[in-house]
Amino acid sequence: MLSKIPILIATMLLASCGGPLAIFPGGKLQGEVVHTRIEDWSFTDTPYLELETRPSDPYSVQINYAVRDKMLYIDPAEGRRWFQHLKKDLRVRVRFGERIYPVTAVLVGRPGELPGFDPERYIYRLDSRDPESPRS
């Protein structure tokens, strides 16, 4: 019985957080959805963002990101499940703290094309999505 307690606690933590927990993926992100276009992402100060993909069956992960010239970028690695989802539907959501921002992933560089990014990865800029668009 005692050996099942850590598993039960971990399951409860994962179910209650409304998104990913460290290296474990989650489902739909929970929080306040911001219905304002963001032109300057410089306000972000966390080491990771939480990214939700696959609108039909939300899948979320914690990932690194970069802000350059006020724009928000991610660089997915091949083989990641969430990257496969992203390739099929560019509409994603990101969460910083308790706020969720609907965005569209825009491919801006293939491996080796953009200096300052991992030369083996694709580079996507995350642009604010119109608050009127589906799945905000």
CATH number of the CATH domain containing 64: 2.30.110
Tens digits of pLDDT across the chain (136 residues): 556 656 545 554 544 457 877 778 999 999 999 989 999 999 999 999 999 999 999 999 999 999 999 999 999 988 999 999 999 999 999 999 999 999 999 999 999 999 989 999 999 999 998 755 555 4
pLDDT at 134: 54
Among candidates 78, 48, 84, 81, which has minimal Cα distance to 66?
Answer: 48
CB-based contact 104:127 (threshold 8 Å): yes
- Tell whether 136 is covered by a domain: no
Host domain of residue 45: 2-128
- Tell whether 45 is covered by a domain: yes
What's the predicted TM-score (pTM) here? 0.82
pLDDT at 16: 45
Residue 11: which residues within 8 A CB-CB, separation 6 or more?
Answer: none
Residue 57 dihedral angles phi and psi, to the nearest 5°: -150, 80
- Tell whether 21 is covered by a domain: yes
pLDDT at 30: 96
- Tell whether 133 is covered by a domain: no
**Tokens 């990865």 found at:** 121
pLDDT at 132: 56
pLDDT at 42: 96
Rounded distance between C-alpha atoms, residue 34 and residue 124, angstroms: 21
- Tell whether 82 is covered by a domain: yes
One-letter-per-residue 3-state SS of 17-48: CCCCECCECECCCCCEECCCCCCCCCCCCCCC
pLDDT at 46: 92
Total domain count, the chain: 1
